[in-house]
Amino acid sequence: MIQALANVLPHFRHTDSGQFFLMAGPCVIEGEDMALRIAEQVRTLTDKLQIPYIFKGSYRKANRSRLDSYTGIGDEKALRILQKVGREIGVPTVTDIHESEEAALAAEYVDVLQIPAFLCRQTDLLVAAAKTGKVVNVKKGQFLSGESMQFAVDKVRQSGNENVILTDRGNSFGYSDLVVDFRNLPAMREFGVPVVMDVTHSLQQPNQSSGVTGGKPQLIETIAKAAIAVGADGLFIETHPTPATAKSDGANMLALDRLEDLLVKLTRVRQAIR
C-alpha cells in the first residue's frame, strides 16, 4: 500500500524498505526557520532509518476552542513556507483544509490534502479535495467506527481519485478524553488504502474548562508501538523543538529531540512483526 503512494508523491523515499511511513511536523506553521529546521532534522532521521517521510503542518487552525486561540501566521505566508519545505528539504508535504474552496488553493502548494476528523463526513469538502488530484488523507471522526469510513473512501474514489489515506485519531470517551480502539486499523485496511495512526492527537484531552486542550504525551510510545504491532502503514506524530512554547497542541506533542529514540524502537517493532 505504501508503494502506491510513491507513484503520486514526489521525493517519497525508501518505499521498498518495508518500513512504516511517517507524517511529522509541528501542529501549525509558526514560521519559516522553525518549519525548515524541523523538516531537515526529521528527514535526517528518517533517511538514516529508511522511513518514508511526509512533512506535516497546518497552514491555519480553523477548529479552535476559543476565539482568542492561535490560528496561524496568514494563509498565503504559511502555504509558501510549506512549499519551500517541500522544495528545499526534498520531502512531500501535507496540510489540512476546512472548506471546499480551500482545496484548490492548498493544492497549489502541498502534495497531500488532509480532511480533519470533525469534517470527514462533509461531502462537498471530500469531493473538492478529490478533484484536485492530490492524495487525500481523511482522518476518522472521533464519533465513527473504522468500518464506517468506507463511505469517505467511496466519496473520494467516486470523484475520480484513487489516492486515499485513512487516519485514526481515537474515539471520544466521555466529554474530555479519547480512547484508541485498535480494531479500527485492520478494519480500515480492508478498503485497500494505507492506514495511519495519529499518535499525538489520540492522546488529547479535549473540552477542558479552560478552553485549552490537554494531553498525555507520556503515552506516545505506547500508542505508536501498538499501532505498528497491529499493522499500521504509517504514523502521524506532531513534534516541536519545545512543546511547552508551541502555539497549538503543545500538551500532546513529542519533543523533537525525543523523536530519534522513538523511531529506533518502532523500527525494531516493525522488523519483529515482519
Report the distance separating Cα 143 and Cα 184, nearest Å. Answer: 12
Q: Name 55's bridge partners.
A: 24, 93
Q: What is the pLDDT of residue 203?
A: 94
Q: Average the pLDDT over 122-132 and give the result.
A: 98
Instruction: Pick 77 or 70 by higher pLDDT.
Output: 77
Give 7-56 pLDDT, tens digit per residue. 999 999 999 999 999 999 999 999 999 999 999 999 999 999 999 999 99
Residue pLDDT, tens place only, 92-102: 999 999 999 99
152 close to 138: Cβ distance less than 8 angstroms? yes
For residue 214, report the phi and psi dihedrals to the nearest 5 degrees.
-95, -170
Integer Cα distance of 37 and 83 in angstroms: 14
Q: How confident is the model at residue 208 (pLDDT cuts 50, 70, 90)?
A: low
- Determine the length of the chain: 274
Confidence (pLDDT) at 217: 85
Region for residue 90 given its phi and psi (left: phi exceeds 0; alpha: psi -120 to 50; beta: otherwise) = left
Q: What percent of the chain has pLDDT over 70?
A: 95
According to DSSP, residue 174 is labeled: S
- The secondary element (H helix, E strand) that includes residue 227 is helix 220-229
- What pLDDT band is residue 176 in, cutting at 50, 70 and 90? confident
What's the pLDDT score for residue 212?
60
Q: Name the β-bridge partners of 179.
A: 171
Q: How much is the pLDDT for 248?
A: 82
Task: Give the pLDDT of residue 85.
Answer: 98
In this prediction, residues 118-143 reach a mean pLDDT of 98
Helical segments of 57-183, H only: 75-85, 102-107, 123-131, 150-157
Q: Is the pLDDT of residue 215 over 90?
A: no
Residue 113 host element (H or E) = strand 112-115
